[in-house]
Structure 1
Amino acid sequence: MAAKLSERVIESVLVANRGEIAVRVIRACRESGVRSVAVYGDGDEQAMHVELAADAWRIPDGEGLPYLRSQALIEVAKQSGADAIHPGYGFLSENGDFAEAVEASGLIFIGPDASTIRAMGDKVAARRIATEAGVGPVPGSDGPVKTIDDARIEAERIGYPIAVKASGGGGGRGFRVARSDSELEGAFSGSKGEAERYFANPAVYLERYLEHPRHIEAQVFGDAHGTVIAMGERDCSIQRRHQKLVEEAPSPAVTPEVRARLLEASEALARRVGYVGAGTIEYLLDEDGSFFFLEMNTRIQVEHTVTEMVTGIDLVKEQLRVAQGSPLSFGSEVRETRGWAVECRINAEDPGRDFAPMPGMITAYREPAGFGVRVDSAISPGATINERYDSMIAKLVTWGRDRSEALARMDRCLRDYQIEGVPTTIPYHLAALREESFVRQGATTTFVADHPELIPPPFAGEARQGEPVPEAERMVIEVNGRRFDVAVHGTGTLQASAASAKRKRPGRTSGSGQSAPKSTGDNLVSPIQGTVIRVAVEEGASVAAGDVICVVEAMKMENELSAHKAGVVSSLTVEVGGSVKVGDVVATITGE
């Protein structure tokens, strides 16, 4: 296998992703002397990753999100002359079928092989492999749980609280918690439904839910010559909806003794599956120093940046090297990390409304700068946060000689960051990173729920909506006598819009504006824009305040809209598959 890989040369990479990770990969390609090919779908014609790449191709029309059209992406890669495909994170990055199809087409998949992705992507199988490697998982079911009756039997054996988790998922999708038997059915059905929507696999399993653990993960890297190195740990405990908000490396909770055991266990597990490429093994760390295997992510991680900052290793460039059969460019010395790094995920969300996603147009944008500061983003003034995709605007990373310096630098950068047009998580980050217990010892995974006083008031205003993207203009042009039929984007309406934006500088969104939409009287209004994926009640139903009326998906997150008062649902204005905007009336609830 090593001999075969040593002959592989990558001269051109198709980046099968969008946003900041596509920009990150394109920059690594540039530095490596590798030609980059971007792909794009509707609304991304003028995105930063498209502009930075050496070449860019529209993803052919088809069903679903364009960045999930695997066969279309492979065809574009071949047409563009690419040698390899880098999947980034999310989308198809942990899809074994895609990795297999890429290699079968004669291209190189920049990541582990399909069998490894499948083995570790199936969370139930991964638990078995971890056990065989001597890395104990959290106590749970031995396999998928098919029915609610089976789930009740398993829950009694394991003990409450119970985590119901998608077998084929990750990233917080298909994750529900039941603290008692009365909550189990709702958690079970909710997890299965989300797993089916996101992973086309409704299988779920059960785990014991630890109440106050830390979320610790180890960065591992393997090459085709049998070398596997665990590069150090990251602490990702501050989360909302089981998705990370703040990450740091190293962890303030990991002692040298625990670190040695954690990294040795991580290397043993990666060797067990013959791991090649960048991967992350996630654990729950208990207060007594014991740790339990959660899952392995067979891709580059969002928070790889903090590991890069404390090791000095460019992980994406290393992926390019390893994919060509080269040995790792570093050894176990990377465990001796240098300084401290902290990352804040800057998202277009309203923390005051339970971190509801708020897509819209960025009307003004200025990144912080200075020594020890890094910003990974794909945003510029006028860019739109698309409701079809993730809510992330940027990853803000700071480095310091120690934790206190890194945190002080992060505080300064958060205050320097200017983002207007949409609400962001910056106010929450500022409050959280100054909280006394976090400054002293870090956080557990219940930090957000344990400190409601840190949640800022709801955003006072409405997210600025971007101009509709006009249809492309069809033109016929001649180049050296050869006729081309082309589509031209960004003319007409967009130029007029840009000119208008230059004439009128928007005011700061942190200032006064229209008050946030509130449910008053009989009308329940939506605080977010998105798509209705579930309606929990029927007209005529009696509800109590707090009962779920419907679930709205916005920017890959599920948001429950609950009754603002007790009464009878006299009318429902939403249906599954329909769209709602901020301020739309969802239901009318009258007195019983």
Structure 2
Amino acid sequence: MSFRKILVANRGEIATRVVRTARALGYRTVAVYSDADAQAPHARLADEAVCIGPPPAAQSYLSIPALLDAARRTGADAVHPGYGFLSERADFAAACAEAGLVFIGPPASAIEAMGDKAGAKRRMLAAGVPCAPGYLGSDDDSDERLLAEAERLGYPLLVKAVAGGGGRGMRLVHGTHELAGAIAGARREAESAFGDGRLMLERLIEHGRHIEIQVFADAHGHAVHLGERDCTAQRRRQKVIEEAPSPVVSAAMRERMGADAVAAALAVGYVGAGTVEFIVDAGLTHYFLEMNTRLQVEHPVTECITGFDLVEWQLRVAAGEPLSAWLPNGQADIRFSGHAIEARLYAEDPYDGFKPQTGRILHWQPAHATQAGRAPGAAASSVRIDDGIAEGGSVTPWYDAMVAKLIVHGRDRADAVRRLVAAIEDSPLLGVANNGRFLRDLLQHPDFAAARLTTTRLDEWAAAGAPLLQRPAPDDACWLAAAALAARGDVPTSAPAGLRPASVAWQTIALQCGSDTRRWRVRLAGDLVEFDGGPSVQLLGQEGHRWRLAIDGVTRELVALRHAGGWHLAHQGAGFVFTEPSAAPDQRRQADPGRAHAPVAGVVAQVLVKPGDAVSAGQPLVCVEAMKMEMWLNAQAGGTVRAVHIREREAVSAGALVVELDIDTVSTVI
């Protein structure tokens, strides 16, 4: 089972993270990339890189023949699947074995056993592991059978893909009126993501917490657990913040959950890293959800509190080593230190329904952090950032919206929260709208501090329009800094004195940010910008995009850059864009209800109309999928379809015209 060159069958931050540990251990590495990722960091970091196809994942990262061919061409003798894509596909693990490649993960039989979520629950029930009530499917998987079983179970419930994972193919249903649409959406998404449209039902454990156990097993019949991770902070079943240990789990509860998780792994002959997920009710009773037969996105928090590198463990187990080689006393050798929290940085707009975002990365220079590799232990740097992006690159609509993870390790939970808030503020991403400010504010929310969140709380806040999900506005200092930079122009602070702006007469500066516009009378005197009737701003120095300014005598540092005629500023995890308002009044017309445009860049998942069809106001027309999220485009008014400009599975850009309608003259626009 020895190997020396590892092909990483993935992309983004997990690919770079695996490459770093593999290289630290002396292995050669091969990256794979699609045409969309030709300049991505993971493709440049590995020793070799191979293009495996066009941007759609089905033609690149999900293409088993392309990956096996890349391994053959480069002489790789092992494959690490990362997470997502093919990591939980039994046929991929089997294909690697048949090609003579070491698959750095569990055997195909274990993946198949746990990959079928319904079958896995049957196994767990047989092993005595508690499971939530549900319907596990049968030969009759018709919509009518699912509707009948849902009425038997009661609401709320979850419609889940039998072959699902990562929140895909899952819908929350509150009542009968939502069920048919949820079944159709979950089945469609499951078929697209997993090639398997089978569904199951699970009674929702209300007010629950999502707590998972990290397990590890070797090929010699031994398994241990590395404690729990609390992943309760979720939106739309997607994890946002993860921490270890859980603030609600006692030592006794950890022992019970750990024993159940190890039993689950041993029951299927598991080998390598895996995670057993539980839902915990208000009475702290745990129920088995599923087992992820791979490394988890959130594995760094476990690494921080244990001091172990789980990717290193994966490589050693794949090479045939027993756990006893580094854990001579087994479970007793695993100790926990401090508290770790991970925040997922997503390219999405939390203040506009969490819509995925794309575009060019203007600034990404994380400050004061280690990179993933040999995982930092208790004595290492308290901040770690795992990313798969680089300044000057682009976020595309083809893949997951997560672009980076910020992980901190503190002596206790409060210490870790404080450190993570600072890390988010010190590591802004500019150019692409993201959830940085939302993460910062969530970490400081009283419900997070008191561990009162549930898996549905963020969605409840979104539905209620909670302040946490209202777009932040720049404070007065941001406005003054933007005005001072705009008044100075493009001359850097390091320019020779003769090239710096000289003292000039008073001038008017006007800037717009969002819907707010402000005007000032300012005067330049070298590096000093004076505001008529207000404070002065002195530009003290500049290193790249980081500026030092003194505003009314108080010195501070901020990230700011000029792009496309505007100034981008970062403040407290948020990015703001300041531009000059148009000299002419806003004459933009109301959106034309006869022309339907794509809400985001993505792939057309479904087209429900054709030319000549009559449609009513609010009727769904087209579904666009981007970054694991479906967005429906509805008719704004009743009418007749004149033209459809897209086809299913076709890429579409944000704002592209997709459907044209002839609007009824008596129709009411909604």
> Which residue of 191, 199, 220 maps to 1:204?
199
Give the CA deviation at 1:414.
1.1
1:561 aligned to 2:633?
A: yes
Task: Tell me if structure 1 keeps the 8 A contact 2:609–2:621.
Answer: yes
* Aligned residue in 2 for 1:232: 227
* Aligned residue in 2 for 1:432: 442
Cα distance, 1:148–1:332 mapped onto 2, change above 3 Å: same
Cα distance, 1:312–1:443 mapped onto 2, change above 3 Å: same
1:540 aligned to 2:540?
A: no
What's the C-alpha RMSD, in Å, of the aligned pairs?
Answer: 2.6
- 1:275 and 1:320 map into 2 onto residues whose CA distance is 15
- 1:536 and 1:43 map into 2 onto residues whose CA distance is 29
Cα distance, 1:447–1:507 mapped onto 2, change above 3 Å: same
* Aligned residue in 1 for 2:408: 398
- 1:220 and 1:519 map into 2 onto residues whose CA distance is 56
The runs of 5 or more residues in structure 1 that have no matched partner are: 1-7, 462-500
Cα distance, 1:537–1:136 mapped onto 2, change above 3 Å: farther
Mapping 1:288-303, distance limit 5 Å: 288-303=283-298
List per-residue Cα deviations over 1:174-194 (Å, max 9, x = no partner): 101222222111111111111
Give the CA deviation at 1:518.
11
Give the CA deviation at 1:143.
2.3
Moved more, 439-448 or 94-103: 439-448
- 1:226 and 1:233 map into 2 onto residues whose CA distance is 22
Cα distance, 1:403–1:78 mapped onto 2, change above 3 Å: same
* Aligned residue in 1 for 2:519: none
List per-residue Cα deviations over 1:470-513 (Å, max 9, x = no partner): xxxxxxxxxxxxxxxxxxxxxxxxxxxxxxx9999973451235
Structure with greater strand percent: 2
* Aligned residue in 1 for 2:467: 453
List per-residue Cα deviations over 1:20-55 (Å, max 9, x = no partner): 111111111111111111122213222211221112
Task: Tell me if structure 2 keeps the 8 A contact 1:531–1:580.
Answer: yes
Task: Tell me if structure 1 keeps the 8 A contact 2:566–2:579.
Answer: no
* Aligned residue in 2 for 1:324: 319
Task: Tell me if structure 2 keeps the 8 A contact 1:253–1:442.
Answer: no
SS of alignment partner, residue 30 of structure 2: strand
Task: Tell me if structure 1 keeps the 8 A contact 2:428–2:436.
Answer: no
List per-residue Cα deviations over 1:535-581 (Å, max 9, x = no partner): 4567532234xx64432111232123356x66557666554424443
* Aligned residue in 1 for 2:164: 169
Task: Tell me if structure 2 keeps the 8 A contact 1:519–1:525.
Answer: no
Mapping 1:116-155, distance limit 5 Å: 116-144=110-138, 146-155=141-150
Amino acid at match of 2:67: L
- 1:568 and 1:261 map into 2 onto residues whose CA distance is 60
Cα distance, 1:251–1:568 mapped onto 2, change above 3 Å: farther
Task: Tell me if structure 2 keeps the 8 A contact 1:137–1:293.
Answer: yes
1:408 aligned to 2:418?
A: yes
Amino acid at match of 1:176: R
Task: Tell me if structure 1 keeps the 8 A contact 2:566–2:578.
Answer: no
- 2:580 and 2:398 map into 1 onto residues whose CA distance is 26
1:263 aligned to 2:258?
A: yes
- 2:183 and 2:236 map into 1 onto residues whose CA distance is 16
- 1:569 and 1:503 map into 2 onto residues whose CA distance is 39
Amino acid at match of 1:80: T
Amino acid at match of 1:292: Y
SS of alignment partner, residue 58 of structure 1: strand
- 1:579 and 1:118 map into 2 onto residues whose CA distance is 32
* Aligned residue in 1 for 2:494: none
Cα distance, 1:89–1:532 mapped onto 2, change above 3 Å: same
> Which residue of 9, 13, 26 maps to 2:19?
26
Cα distance, 1:62–1:160 mapped onto 2, change above 3 Å: closer
Moved more, 384-393 or 115-124: 384-393
What is the TM-score normalised by the length of structure 2?
0.76
* Aligned residue in 2 for 1:355: 354
- 1:345 and 1:527 map into 2 onto residues whose CA distance is 24
Task: Tell me if structure 1 keeps the 8 A contact 2:167–2:237.
Answer: yes
SS of alignment partner, residue 300 of structure 1: coil
- 1:312 and 1:60 map into 2 onto residues whose CA distance is 38
Task: Tell me if structure 2 keeps the 8 A contact 1:252–1:442.
Answer: no
List per-residue Cα deviations over 1:67-123 (Å, max 9, x = no partner): 111122112212312121111111111111110111111110000000100010011
Moved more, 521-530 or 293-302: 521-530
* Aligned residue in 2 for 1:56: 49
Task: Tell me if structure 1 keeps the 8 A contact 2:10–2:32.
Answer: yes
1:305 aligned to 2:371?
A: no
SS of alignment partner, residue 614 of structure 2: coil
- 2:590 and 2:332 map into 1 onto residues whose CA distance is 57
1:507 aligned to 2:568?
A: yes
Give the CA deviation at 1:259.
1.4
- 2:592 and 2:202 map into 1 onto residues whose CA distance is 42
Task: Tell me if structure 1 keeps the 8 A contact 2:617–2:638.
Answer: yes
Amino acid at match of 2:405: K
1:114 aligned to 2:108?
A: yes
List per-residue Cα deviations over 1:268-288 (Å, max 9, x = no partner): 111111111000111111000
- 1:568 and 1:226 map into 2 onto residues whose CA distance is 66
List per-residue Cα deviations over 1:447-469 (Å, max 9, x = no partner): 212323211429978xxxxxxxx
Give the CA deviation at 1:584.
4.0
Cα distance, 1:574–1:281 mapped onto 2, change above 3 Å: farther
1:248 aligned to 2:261?
A: no
Task: Tell me if structure 2 keeps the 8 A contact 1:155–1:206.
Answer: yes
> Which residue of 210, 217, 229 maps to 1:222?
217
Task: Tell me if structure 2 keeps the 8 A contact 1:248–1:342.
Answer: yes
- 2:92 and 2:54 map into 1 onto residues whose CA distance is 18
- 2:315 and 2:642 map into 1 onto residues whose CA distance is 56
List per-residue Cα deviations over 1:126-167 (Å, max 9, x = no partner): 111111121122111132451121012211221112211101
Cα distance, 1:309–1:576 mapped onto 2, change above 3 Å: same
Give the CA deviation at 1:527.
3.5
- 2:243 and 2:333 map into 1 onto residues whose CA distance is 16
- 1:219 and 1:365 map into 2 onto residues whose CA distance is 31
- 2:364 and 2:657 map into 1 onto residues whose CA distance is 32
Task: Tell me if structure 2 keeps the 8 A contact 1:357–1:555.
Answer: yes
* Aligned residue in 2 for 1:338: 337
Cα distance, 1:349–1:123 mapped onto 2, change above 3 Å: same
SS of alignment partner, residue 507 of structure 1: strand
* Aligned residue in 1 for 2:533: none
* Aligned residue in 2 for 1:10: 3
Cα distance, 1:569–1:341 mapped onto 2, change above 3 Å: farther
Amino acid at match of 1:409: R
Amino acid at match of 2:423: C
* Aligned residue in 1 for 2:503: none
SS of alignment partner, residue 165 of structure 2: coil
- 1:543 and 1:62 map into 2 onto residues whose CA distance is 35
Task: Tell me if structure 1 keeps the 8 A contact 2:19–2:45.
Answer: yes
> Which residue of 410, 419, 422 maps to 2:429?
419
1:39 aligned to 2:32?
A: yes
Task: Tell me if structure 2 keeps the 8 A contact 1:543–1:569.
Answer: no
Give the CA deviation at 1:412.
0.8
Give the CA deviation at 1:348.
0.8
Amino acid at match of 2:347: A
The runs of 5 or more residues in structure 2 that have no matched partner are: 370-380, 474-512, 515-561, 570-574, 582-587
Give the CA deviation at 1:306.
0.6
SS of alignment partner, residue 531 of structure 1: strand
Task: Tell me if structure 2 keeps the 8 A contact 1:221–1:278.
Answer: yes
- 1:138 and 1:65 map into 2 onto residues whose CA distance is 37
- 1:214 and 1:445 map into 2 onto residues whose CA distance is 6
